[in-house]
Amino acid sequence: MTARIVYPSDMTQPSLRDSIVDERILAEHPAYNAVELTIRSPDGAERTKPAIRHRGAVIIVPLLEQPGRTPRVVLVRNDRVVLGTALLECPAGGIDEGEGPAEAAERELREESGYQAASLYPIGRFYTSPGMSDEVMHAFVASGLIHVGQSLQPNESMTVHKHTAGELLEMIDSGKMTDGKTMLAILLAMRKGYLEPA
């Protein structure tokens, strides 16, 4: 199953005042490159800026629907070594070479949460850190979940947690949830009518 992604408009933006005249790769990684940009202003002045060139990523809001029960969202508690703490997050990850966003979403959902989806719905896309990276994250809602078991990478440490929309809103409002991509994906799912806040 591969979802067809249709967006009402593309992400093209107005022309910039400055222009990139050179780009030098500083370090290469399978998912992204660290680069140094040379930027020229209209007056001819040039400056350099570090940046990350990224292949893109996905995030999934998995809805676990059970008869007679309020739907719950399947999240993972993800050890974030850079931060020195664990974060409660929606399943997410990078788009591998040769993959489309829907394929990556299916794979990441299965690997991280241990669930496979019958249906996948695109709900939006956004830049994650436009001041330093060109990474675009594609957001999806997944439904018709079937448990198949996690398939984590050797360096990943995640546990699965399930919460109602009301509980998630309380966590966002109280500051207990701090992962930006997860908060935005949950709110997009609510805005699009896939998840009821009550």
Domains of the chain: 19-53 (no CATH), 55-191 (3.90.79.10)
pLDDT tens sequence across 109-144: 999 999 999 999 999 999 999 999 999 999 999 999
pLDDT of residue 197: 78
Mean pLDDT estimate for the chain: 90
pLDDT of residue 30: 86
Half-sphere exposure of 39 (CA within 13 A, CB side): 12
Which one is predicted more confidently, 75 or 69? 75
Cβ atoms of 19 and 47 within 8 Å: the answer is no
Half-sphere exposure of 75 (CA within 13 A, CB side): 26
pLDDT of residue 138: 98
pLDDT of residue 196: 87
From residue 153, alpha-carbon distances to 8, 160, 194 in Å are 35, 15, 30
